[in-house]
Amino acid sequence: MRATPPWVDQVAISKIYFAANFLGMVTGEWYHVDHIVPLQGPLAMDGPFKGERIVSGLHCEANLQVIPGRLNQSKSNRYWPDMP
């Protein structure tokens, strides 16, 4: 809950979760709501930030996407666009 800023559009977020459920019902495949930039990214393994989170995204409509569940599980929190 700390990753949800006060300015989020809760209606938009609800629509995204609805879309994932709807796609699952229509296709018979599980769909997930994925955080494009993970809420808790991986830890840095070396360098000056060793042991620190590399990235932490927000729980907001701009950071959500609907993707097939198998794809979401395979990417875990180790990949995001423009990742260093």
Contacts of 54 (CB under 8 A, 6+ apart): 41, 42, 43, 44, 84
pLDDT, residue 40, reads 83
* Per-residue pLDDT tens digits of the chain, which is 84 residues long: 578 999 999 999 999 999 999 999 999 999 999 999 888 877 888 888 888 887 888 999 999 999 999 988 887 776 667 666
Residue 62 placed within a domain:
yes
**Which candidate, 16, 28, 25, places its Cα nearest to that of 66?**
16
68: in domain: yes
Looking at the structure of the chain, the number of domains it has is 1
Establish if 40 belongs to a structural domain.
yes
Q: Which residue range(s) make up the domain with 51? A: 10-75
3 within a domain of the structure (yes/no):
no
Which pLDDT belongs to residue 74?
A: 83
